Chain A
Amino acid sequence: MATALQTSTVDLAARFPNKAAADTRPGFTGFIVNKENLIEVATAVRDEFGYDLLTAVTAVDYIAENKMEVVYHAYKTTGGPGLTFKVQAERVDPIEVPSLINIWAGADFQEREAWDLYGIKFTGHPDLRRILMWEGYEGHPLRKDWKEPFFEEEVKPFKSRWPEGKHTFAEQKNPYRDNLNFPKDFDPENFVVEKEEDLYASLERHTTKDIEGNMKTDHIVVNMGPHHPSTHGVLRVAVTLDGETIIGLKPVMGYLHRNHDKIGERNTYLQNIPYTDRLDYFNSMSNNFGYVTTVEKLMKIPVAERAEYIRVIMAELSRVQNHLIFIGMLMNDLGTMYTPSLYAFEERELILDIFEAVSGARMMCNYYRFGGVVRDIPDDVLQKIKDLVLERIPAKTDEMERFLNENEILVARLKGIHVLNAEDAIKFSVTGPVLRASGVPYDIRRADPYSIYDRFDFDVAVRHNGDMMDNYLIRFDEIRQSLRILEQAIKQMPQGPINSQKPAYQVRVPAGEAYGRIESPKGELGFYLVSNGKPNPYRYHVRPASFVNLTAVETMCKGAKIADFVALLAMLDIVMGELDR
C-alpha cells in the first residue's frame, strides 16, 4: 500500500560515507548529498542502484536556515518505491548546484524551472534560461522573501476577506493600482527591451555549406505560436528549418503560467483542491486524486472504503474521456477537421454528465477530500455509469477503431514517424502512454500502486515501436483496460461512509515532506509537499506530466517534417494548464 511509509532499501549514507547522510529531520526521508559529490552520487544512483527514471526535480527555500535545497526523486522503471536525495546550498547569491543533465537528460526543463523561480544556478547546464517567466523579469518569484504585487499576507485566510472586516480590492493596496511592481527609479521610457537572442542562439543555426552540386540554402527560424490553432493552447516553439525539415527546435512556455506554486503556498491545504482542478483541465478528477493522496500520505489517515472505489471510478472515467478527446484532437491536427472530434465529444459529454451529477460541475469537479470524497454517488447515476461502461463506451470505442485505424491517410501520417526508443524515453523522464508506447511497461498503478489499484485485474498497455501509430493505438488499449478496472470497481464497490474524517475547514498536517504520484492520463502527476505543521503548505510543487514529457520533443522531431510536428504535439497530449501551471 502506498499509504504506508516505505523505507527505501538503498542506503546512500553507507555507500558514500562523508558524502551523503540520511535526512534526519522529523517527517523527512531520503538522503542529503554534499554539493561537491552530487555528480558522483547521482551517477551511482543511476548505474549501481538502477534508479533510471528521474521524475521530479524541485527546490525548496528554507529561509530560516538560510539554505536552498534541491530535491530529486528517482524511480526504477521496473517498479518499486523511489529514492529521494537532496542537495543543500547556502542561500547566498549566486547559489550554485551542479546540473544533473548529463546523467538524466530529463532534468533539463525542471532545472531551468528551479533557476527561473528560485534563482539556483545549475552549473554545467548548457541552456540555463528562464522557462516560465520571460527573460528580464525582476526577481525569482518562489523565494520566500519575494512578494508578489498583490501581496496581502503570508497565508490565507486573509483578514480582509473575513466576514467581520470589509472587503478591500487588492488594487487599492498597490501604488500602481494594478498587478505591477517595478524596481526603484525604473524609467519605462528609456527601457531597452531584451531581445530573445539567447533563445535563438540556443537553436542550431548555420548556413549549409556550399558543396559541389548542392544549392546553397539558408536555414530559417520559424516561430509557431503562442497563437497557433494546433499548439493545444498557448505553447510556442521556435524551429530552425532546412526547407521543411526540422533541424533544431526549442519550446517556449510560460504563456499560461498561473503561479500555482506561489498561490498554493499561501492557500490552506483544503483551498488547494479546486486549484488542482485547473492544472490539467481535462482531468480534474485525476488531479484531485494526486493531491489528496499526497496530503493523506502526510497526514497518515486512512481513506473510507467506499470512497476508494468512487475515486477509482471517477479517475478511470476521466482517463477514458481524456483518451477519447486525444483521438479527436489528433485527428483535428492531422486534417480531418471536426468530424472525429465531434464523435469524441459526444461520449465526453456523457461522462461529464456523471461528473456534474456527483460534484455539481462539469469540468472543475473539486470532488475529492482528505479521507474520502465530498458526495456519494446517487443510485441513478451509478446506473448511468454502468450503462456507459458496460455498453455504450465499449461499442463506441470499437466503432472509432473500425472507422479510423486502417484509414490509409492516417496510417501514412502516423506509421514510423517520430520514433522515440525506450532508452531515450527513460533518459528524458518521459512517463505515461508515450513511455509505454516505446516498449517500457511502466504504469504507476502497477509499478508503485496507490489507492486500491492493487486489487484490480488489468494489464499494463504496452506497445513496442515507439512511433506515432503506436502512441495512437495505445490510447485505445488504455481505454479498454480502464473499462476493465471500472467494471470490477462497480461490481466490488461496498456500501458505507464516503469519508473517514469529519468535514473540516482546516486540516492538521504534521510536519514533514511527501511526494505523491499517480498515473494521470498524461503520465506521472506528482505533488511534492513540505509541511511545517501550520495550516498552509510550506512548499507546494506540482510535477506535471506534460511539462517533463516535452523535454523529449527536440530529439523526437529532429530530421522530421514541420507538418508532422503538429501531429507530434497532439500525440504528446500536452495540456497547457498543467504544463505551465
Chain B
Amino acid sequence: MDYEKLSLPNYNIPEDIQNAVAITTLDRLYNWGRRSSVWPLMFGLACCAIEMIAAQTARYDMARFGMEVMRPTPRQADMMLVSGTVTKKMLPAIIRLYNQMPEPKYVVAMGACASSGGPFKEGYNVVAGIDKFLPVDVYIPGCPPTPQALIAGMIKLQEKIDKESIKTVTWYNKEKVDGNYVPMPILGPDLIDVRRNAEIRDIAATKEGA
C-alpha cells in the first residue's frame, strides 16, 4: 500500500523520513494486511467454479488483488467462494468446511444459484441460496458471473474489510465464543435444519393427508 493511503493525515512527519515512517491506526494496518491477502478456499461446486478458475488465469489474474493462493484445506483459507448450486446433499459438507475455517472468515455467494437457487430453485434437491445457512458478505449476480464480475465482487469484499474495526468484529468478542458456528444440518426424509426442529415438528403435525 502506498504511503498516502496508509498514513493518517495531520501528523507532521519530517520530509526526509517520510518514506521510512508512517503514522496510522491499528485498524488501518490490520485491514490492509487482511484485505491484501485473502486466501480463497479451493472449492468449486458447479459451473461458476469454471469461471472462478478462469479468473485465476492469465487474462484476468486475481493475483493482482492478492487472491491467487487457493487453499484446498479450509484450515488455511480466509474466504469461502460458494461457486455454484448448493444441493441438499452437498450442504452438510459445505457447513462442515465453513465451521473448520478459522476466523476471520468471509463468504461470497457467486452466481444466481448460490445467491438464491437461481434457475434450479424449484428443484427438490436444491437449497434456495446459501444465505439460509451461512452469513454471506458479498453476492455476485450472473449465471455464471464473468471473471470481471467476480473480480468486482472481490473488490467489494475488500471494501467491506476496509471498514472493519478490531473493536467490533465478532471474532475478538470474548463473550460470544464460536459466534459463527453453524450447526450441521441432517439429511433425513428431507433436509433438517436443526435450528428449526420445533417448527418442523409443529408444521409436520398439522400436515393434511396421510
Contacts and interface: CB of A to CB of B under 8 A. Distances in A.
A170 B85 CA distance: 18
A150 B49 contact: no
Given A188-B201, A193-B186, 18 more contacts: A136-B188, A137-B189, A151-B122, A152-B122, A178-B132, A179-B191, A183-B207, A185-B204, A185-B205, A186-B200, A226-B90, A229-B72, A234-B93, A256-B84, A257-B125, A345-B58, A346-B57, A364-B143
B138 interface: no
B203 interface: yes
A348 B56 CA distance: 13
B57 A262 contact: no
A170 B122 contact: yes
A561 B117 CA distance: 39
B128 A234 contact: no
5 contacts: A137-B189, A149-B124, A258-B123, A262-B124, A346-B59
A403 interface: no
Interface string A125-146: 0000000111011100100000
Interface string A219-239: 000000011110001100000
Contacts of A364: 47, 143-144
Interface stretch (B20-28, B37-45, B159-167): B37-45
A471 B90 CA distance: 31
A150 B127 CA distance: 11
Task: Identify whether the interface residues of A are mostly helix, strand, loop, or mixed.
Answer: loop
Contacts of B120: 258-259, 263
A183 B97 contact: no
Given A227-B93, A342-B58, A234 B45 contact: yes
Interface stretch (A37-45, A275-283, A383-391, A550-558): A275-283
B16 interface: no
B126 interface: yes
Contact of A141 (B84, B124, B132, B186): B124
Contact of A345 (B54, B146, B193, B209): B54
What are the nearest 6 A-B pairs in CB distance? A259-B123, A138-B189, A281-B47, A229-B72, A345-B57, A148-B124
A299 B89 CA distance: 37
How large, as a class, is the contact surface on chain A? Answer: 35 or more
B99 to A, nearest CB: 13
Contacts of A577: 46-47
Interface in A171-219: 171, 175-176, 178-189, 191, 193
A545 B59 CA distance: 31
Given A170-B121, A170-B122, A342-B58, A182 B197 contact: no
Contacts of A349: 54, 57, 59
